[in-house]
A and B are shown apart, each in its own frame.
Chain A
């Protein structure tokens, strides 16, 4: 392997070096500084006599005398089942004082695209135990469902609650004791604070979840460019465990906003023509190459389910980061600052939230026959109540009809009883739907125009004594 001491330019995270041999695009590079430190990077552009290298750890410490080695291969990740239970840095090096990792395979971290023909459509319900999700925006195995949040909101608590509680009811009934061991969580932190990281780690340790988890940590003070590698490491590990070792993998990526900032930084350093608000024009494609690594594959047991978390700058979902994400993922869950300040836990606003794979994942044999109708009706009723809240501020409750008043009551009860369950409560789907019926029964029967008459007959509570759950729970 040839060594060069031919660096001609250092600019932001980029280094340019002259070469006299052919260097492959995307190849991995090692740069050794005068102080003997070894940094890693990747070829961003290769031409006959000069290459542009993006350095993961940042370029500080590099000078013209640093030596550059091209490793002749693209970036690989050593994978093995033994990764479970381990804590790694953002570049995949162990930081937990555990034993050396002996890889079973080394896989390219830029995963090849799954052939759409080879995919299997995701339709297995995952019970998260969170009513706002299970009842209204159901998650299924192999889905990519991000949490749209903003700074200072309890999105981490929500993600941890999901990671803790997520299960697939069917298999539990099958009495399959091994089921627990088939489930794995891969956690990828990008640019989060030490404090946030500690919270996650404590939760993992408290619940014993670490055993079936792999943790990748790129913290706020770690190099920004490394963040472009972390999620690819995470997903390579996830794909390996899911499609070669049959695990059902839940991937949590936080915070995608920091990832996108890193992309922007590299784009700026390369003096690219920027797209919207300074983010690179190829950010859609780049994000798609991460998010599309969720899914199921025909003939394989496992699955990769992704819950990326992003904090929307200015709580604005038209900002390029949430916007492009929403265009790629299969729905989104909104964490709402207003609901949070009202003390709702989790503060999920179901109205703009959406799960696009819900329709095929619910219903008879999957969740319950009345699920779709109940969901539709609750959406309609809550939206109606929400609208009326604005009006009631102006004209007062007396000016509204009896029915409108009922919608207002419904909206309040929906928030306090359905949504606000607490981060520690785990509700099964029956309980979630029962609360739904308790609430819908606040409305007159003939207002339930989205529900099949048969279901109304079966579930509508004619009077309060029939309310099933809330009474019992009190």
Chain B
């Protein structure tokens, strides 16, 4: 359905037969699967999800209290679609792309009322269109025909819709237009405006999916340093409540070096969305100093908002992401939480009395998850540009138990796994990403980038850190039984080195103004400092210095403060030489 299209033709209408929560059945409705319909006297928006004989089942995106049998159901004859065009950045939508700020105005209330609709992009706002084609040029579907400055950060590329035929440009003029006006005319009569529509459940076409080779740099040490995700990659963050899924997603939204962020708050807290709305306009984009909101599109379908719109919000988000990908941008999409999405599917499915699969989830759960993550990737677009969608999904397993269906089915698809750990969270080791369980399958294909851009021994150093941490895990088991002092000196020293890795390198305080963002150069330097301590300390030990004396040196604890240093280069240089000097003075 097009909310931008003011003349929604009513295809057919029927009558409500029954109402049970968000699920309504209608009689005598002529409809196809996934058609958008308006339900009841108030015209609540819904989508056809089952057709059986004369009965059509609809999931309704708004509360259904008071709606009863006999009321009308009208079919728009079109599938659930999003409005695509300038104005999606710096916007906040519900799960069916209704702008929440516009709704507040229309409803005149801080509460979400029913039966109020608004187009996903402002139909009246004018944009300065600058054509990139001229009369006589031949354009094909997907081709970029011009740009508008959407925000200070992002130039919005106006493209020939993928479902057009294309042809020779007859007219293309610069000037001020609203999104419904034609900006480029083709010889076959097709008219290109700044507005497109796309059905959310269908992936936008691309020429080719390629192997991603550039990291999505996150500014989070443990991610960039140990478990990097690629631009165009997929990642899952499972963890029990309070373990740091949302903070990690927020950190990525703030600091990841993507061009565009699509943040989908799916069935989570209202205040978390408010936090983004309040913070992002104030925060600086690390790439250019502009307000972060200028590259961000928010979708907020919180836990208390209608469950059917929660089911659709993921699709709304990924379709918007794909659209910016088509312009040649690197887009990162965060979905918090995919478990709430799966539960919305379960809830609707059980109202439909479908045969339940594992733990009551519908049998198609795995397929839906796979379809979603498949829409991520590094693509060659149909207009020849390259763009990417990275998808990062939080998973909220019941009881924190990763063996449940949503976590398991997600792990079969995604290539980066950031496992959050309640135990670490409890001791306030943040981010509480468990380094033993987590992995990234992109590591090897991203190493060349880090070696070129940061340091040529990037991979080696990482391996050293992983080895020390592994060794620590083994040693800790012994320590639990006999105490640290019973270990030989070299092992005690390894524990000390590992402690610095954990406390300085792996921990990172998201709420500290400096530590919150750590560029890869700093991540690297911190690691080399710890390794300097390691090497010098073992030399001292070999020279006969008692381990207690080595551990007790004054300069080493300053490793823990590298994270909060703004001028870290100088600090690290000094610290390295102090550690070296102090240790060498012991023998």
Q: Is the CB of B511 within 8 A of A121?
A: no
Contact of A115 (CB < 8 Å), options: B66, B103, B240: B103
Contact of A391 (CB < 8 Å), options: B20, B271, B273, B480: B480
Q: Is the CB of A25 within 8 A of B66?
A: yes
Q: Is the CB of A285 within 8 A of B303?
A: yes
Q: Does A284 contact B (CB under 8 A)?
A: yes
Complex Cα spacing A48 to B347, Å: 23
Give the residues in chain B near A108, CB-CB below 8 Å. Answer: 65
Q: Does A2 contact B (CB under 8 A)?
A: no
Q: Is the CB of B482 within 8 A of A395?
A: yes
Q: Given A73-B66, A399-B483, is A285 in contact with B347 using a C-beta cutoff of 8 Å?
A: yes
Q: Does A400 contact B (CB under 8 A)?
A: yes
The stretch from A175-183, A258-266, A323-331, A464-472 touching chain B is A323-331
Complex Cα spacing A295 to B284, Å: 27
Q: Given A47-B18, A117-B92, is A24 in contact with B101 using a C-beta cutoff of 8 Å?
A: no
The stretch from B397-405, B440-448, B458-466 touching chain A is B397-405
Q: Is the CB of A25 within 8 A of B20?
A: yes
Q: Is the CB of A46 within 8 A of B68?
A: yes
Q: Is the CB of B303 within 8 A of A112?
A: no
Contact of A401 (CB < 8 Å), options: B103, B485, B560: B485
Contact of B343 (CB < 8 Å), options: A284, A300, A395: A284
Q: Given A276-B398, A372-B511, is A328 in contact with B302 using a C-beta cutoff of 8 Å?
A: no
Contact string against A for B residues 266-283, beta-carbon threshold 8 Å, 1 for contact and 0 otherwise:
010111011101100000
Q: Is the CB of B274 within 8 A of A119?
A: yes
Give the residues in chain A near B20, CB-CB below 8 Å. Answer: 25, 44-46
Contact string against A for B residues 82-101, beta-carbon threshold 8 Å, 1 for contact and 0 otherwise:
00000000001000000011
Complex Cα spacing A395 to B485, Å: 10
Contact of B300 (CB < 8 Å), options: A116, A243, A281, A399: A116
Q: Which chain A residue shows the least CB distance to B20?
A: A45
The stretch from A124-132, A348-356, A410-418, A424-432 touching chain B is A348-356
Q: Is the CB of A24 within 8 A of B343?
A: no
Give the residues in chain A near B25, CB-CB below 8 Å. Answer: 47
Q: Does A273 contact B (CB under 8 A)?
A: yes
Q: Which chain A residue shows the least CB distance to B114?
A: A112
Contact of A113 (CB < 8 Å), options: B66, B111, B360: B111
Report B147 CB to chain A, min CB distance, Å: 29
Report A44 CB to chain B, min CB distance, Å: 8
Q: Does A103 contact B (CB under 8 A)?
A: no
Q: Which chain A residue shows the least CB distance to B275?
A: A121
Task: Give B297-319 interface residues, CB cut-off 8 Å to A.
Answer: 300, 302-305, 307
Contact of B399 (CB < 8 Å), options: A114, A243, A323: A323
Give the residues in chain B near A243, CB-CB below 8 Å. Answer: 110
Q: Is the CB of B302 within 8 A of A359?
A: no
Q: Is the CB of A116 within 8 A of B66?
A: no
Contact of B69 (CB < 8 Å), options: A48, A379, A394: A48
Q: Does A446 contact B (CB under 8 A)?
A: yes
Q: Does B415 contact A (CB under 8 A)?
A: no
Give the residues in chain B near A229, CB-CB below 8 Å. Answer: none
Contact string against B for A residues 354-389, beta-carbon threshold 8 Å, 1 for contact and 0 otherwise:
101101100000000000100010011001000000
Q: Is the CB of A295 within 8 A of B271?
A: yes
Q: Is the CB of A121 within 8 A of B111?
A: no
Q: Is the CB of B271 within 8 A of A357?
A: yes
Q: Is the CB of A323 within 8 A of B241?
A: yes
Report A92 CB to chain B, min CB distance, Å: 18
Contact of B557 (CB < 8 Å), options: A115, A288, A293, A446: A446
Give the dominant DSSP class at A's interface: mixed
Complex Cα spacing A24 to B350, Å: 21
Give the residues in chain A near B425, CB-CB below 8 Å. Answer: 354
Q: Does B136 contact A (CB under 8 A)?
A: no
Complex Cα spacing A23 to B69, Å: 7
Report A70 CB to chain B, min CB distance, Å: 10
Q: Does B132 contact A (CB under 8 A)?
A: no
Complex Cα spacing A74 to B480, Å: 60
Q: Which chain B residue shows the least CB distance to A357?
A: B271
Task: Give B321-376 interface residues, CB cut-off 8 Å to A.
Answer: 340, 343, 346-347, 350, 356, 359-360
Q: Does A282 contact B (CB under 8 A)?
A: yes
Give the residues in chain B near A343, CB-CB below 8 Å. Answer: none
Give the residues in chain A near B347, CB-CB below 8 Å. Answer: 281-282, 285
Q: Does A298 contact B (CB under 8 A)?
A: yes
Q: Is the CB of A272 within 8 A of B350?
A: yes
Q: Which of B92, B242, B300 has the most CB of A within 10 A?
A: B242
Contact string against A for B residues 551-587, beta-carbon threshold 8 Å, 1 for contact and 0 otherwise:
0001001001100000000000000000000000000
Q: Is the CB of A48 within 8 A of B70?
A: yes
Give the residues in chain B near A46, CB-CB below 8 Å. Answer: 18-20, 68-69
Q: Given A47-B18, A115-B111, is A288 in contact with B304 using a C-beta cutoff of 8 Å?
A: yes
Q: Is the CB of B66 within 8 A of A27?
A: yes
Contact string against A for B residues 1-43, beta-carbon threshold 8 Å, 1 for contact and 0 otherwise:
0000000000000001111110001000000000000000000
Complex Cα spacing A326 to B100, Å: 27
Q: Is the CB of B346 within 8 A of A116?
A: no
Task: Give B106-130 interface residues, CB cut-off 8 Å to A.
Answer: 107, 110-113
Q: Given A25-B66, A46-B68, A380-B428, is A116 in contact with B270 using a C-beta cutoff of 8 Å?
A: yes
Q: Does A342 contact B (CB under 8 A)?
A: no
Q: Does A118 contact B (CB under 8 A)?
A: yes
Q: Which chain A residue shows the least CB distance to B509?
A: A376
Q: Is the CB of A351 within 8 A of B277?
A: no
Report A318 CB to chain B, min CB distance, Å: 3
Give the residues in chain A near B486, CB-CB below 8 Å. Answer: 395, 399
Complex Cα spacing A295 to B110, Å: 12
Report A275 CB to chain B, min CB distance, Å: 6
Q: Does B64 contact A (CB under 8 A)?
A: yes
Give the residues in chain B near A111, CB-CB below 8 Å. Answer: 111
Give the residues in chain B near A220, CB-CB below 8 Å. Answer: none
Q: Does B201 contact A (CB under 8 A)?
A: no
Q: Given A113-B111, A273-B360, is A401 in contact with B484 using a C-beta cutoff of 8 Å?
A: yes
Q: Is the CB of A117 within 8 A of B66?
A: no
Q: Is the CB of B271 within 8 A of A115?
A: no
Give the residues in chain B near A284, CB-CB below 8 Å. Answer: 267, 303, 340, 343
Complex Cα spacing A119 to B275, Å: 9
Report B380 CB to chain A, min CB distance, Å: 37
Q: Which of B71, B271, B274, B401 has the most CB of A within 10 A?
A: B271
Complex Cα spacing A372 to B66, Å: 49
Q: Does B191 contact A (CB under 8 A)?
A: no
Q: Is the CB of B274 within 8 A of A121?
A: yes
Q: Does B542 contact A (CB under 8 A)?
A: no
Q: Is the CB of B271 within 8 A of A323?
A: no
Task: Give A426-461 interface residues, CB cut-off 8 Å to B.
Answer: 446, 449
Q: Does B208 contact A (CB under 8 A)?
A: no
Q: Does A188 contact B (CB under 8 A)?
A: no
Give the residues in chain A near B300, CB-CB below 8 Å. Answer: 116-117
Complex Cα spacing A354 to B243, Å: 10
Q: Given A115-B104, A116-B302, is A47 in contact with B485 using a C-beta cutoff of 8 Å?
A: no
Binding site for B on A (CB under 8 A): 22-27, 44-48, 73-74, 108, 110-122, 142, 243, 272-276, 281-282, 284-285, 288-289, 292-293, 295, 297-298, 300, 318-320, 323-324, 326-328, 330-332, 351-352, 354, 356-357, 359-360, 372, 376, 379-380, 383, 390-391, 394-395, 399-401, 404, 446, 449
Q: Given A122-B271, A399-B483, list of 9 further CB < 8 A pairs?
A: A24-B19, A74-B66, A114-B112, A115-B111, A281-B347, A282-B347, A327-B396, A328-B303, A357-B271
What would 25 A/B residue contacts be, using CB atoms closer than 8 Å?
Answer: A47-B69, A112-B63, A112-B113, A114-B111, A115-B111, A115-B112, A116-B92, A116-B270, A117-B277, A119-B110, A121-B271, A281-B360, A288-B303, A292-B269, A292-B270, A297-B110, A323-B240, A331-B242, A332-B242, A354-B425, A360-B275, A376-B428, A380-B428, A400-B483, A401-B484
Binding site for A on B (CB under 8 A): 16-21, 25, 63-71, 92, 100-101, 103-104, 107, 110-113, 240-242, 265, 267, 269-271, 273-275, 277-278, 300, 302-305, 307, 340, 343, 346-347, 350, 356, 359-360, 396, 398-401, 425-428, 479-486, 503, 509, 511, 554, 557, 560-561
